[in-house]
Amino acid sequence: MTVATAGPRRTIDFESELDAVRAAARSAKGVSTVRRSTAQRLAQEGFAISVRLDETKYRSEAALSAARRLALESRAIRAAGTAAAAWPRYFVVHGRIEGERVRASWFCGSLHATSALRSRGELLVSMGETFCVDRGKPVVPASLVDPLAAMLTLIRSCDELDDASFGPLHHERSLVRLGSS
């Protein structure tokens, strides 16, 4: 449809103008769709990052709490003068190796561990890794046979430690008293 306007002679072709507007709208719609999908993708990535950040913060707080608890228990043992003569009845270690969750526990005199953690622990044993319990005290060699050495070996085997806890301690002094009475 063509319309003549008053004033200087000019004709307006509404159909071509409408087609131009439609083309511009399609183009704008395409751009806004791209922008919208980009915004949605960025929002999803931002949310995923915040979830990972929260998980990392939680694991860090748990590891820090476990470290503080172990430090307090260690100080108590050292204060009693039995650091070299004490070992846990049980322990549980939770961590990660190459991003995969791993777990180990010592209960009733035997070690139960995920294969990745056991393999990494065996590697440390074969390398001759040692642990210094306290200055002037004996060095503890890495091992998966002795509960104290196994706990230290498996903790060091983790890339990331999520939690480590151990149960009541046996003390050689108390065992001697129990055996002599």
Q: What is the DSSP string of 35-54?
A: HHHHHHHHHHHHHHHHHHHH
What is the torsional sign of CA 79, 106, 150, 109?
Answer: positive
Which segment of 49-53, 98-102, 145-149, 156-160 scores lowest on mean pLDDT? Answer: 49-53
Strands 86-88 and 139-141 come out as: unpaired
> Do 26 and 89 fall into the same domain?
no
Whole-model pTM: value is 0.49
Please check whether residues 12 and 95 belong to one and the same domain. Answer: no
Does 61 fall in a domain? no
Residue 157 is assigned to a structural domain of this protein = yes
What pLDDT is stored for residue 169 in this prediction?
57
Q: Tell me, yes or no, whether 99 and 13 share the same domain.
A: no
Q: How many distinct structural domains can be found in the chain?
A: 2
Range of the domain at 165: 81-180
Residues 96 and 39 occupy one common structural domain: no
Q: What is the C-alpha separation between 151 and 167, in angstroms, rounded?
A: 12
Same structural domain, 89 and 140: yes
Same domain, yes or no, for 37 and 121?
no
pLDDT (tens digit, 9 = 90+) per residue, 1-15? 444 555 555 555 656
Quick check: is 51 in a domain? no
- The reply to whether 29 falls in a domain is yes
Extract the runs of DSSP E, i.e. beta strands, from 27-167. 86-88, 91-97, 100-107, 110-113, 130-132, 139-141, 160-166
Same-domain pairing of 110 and 23? no
Tokens representing 176? 């001697």
Per-residue model confidence as pLDDT tens digits over 97-127: 999 999 999 888 889 999 999 999 999 999 9
* CB 82, CB 171: distance < 8 Å: yes
**pLDDT-derived band at 59, boundaries 50, 70, 90:** confident
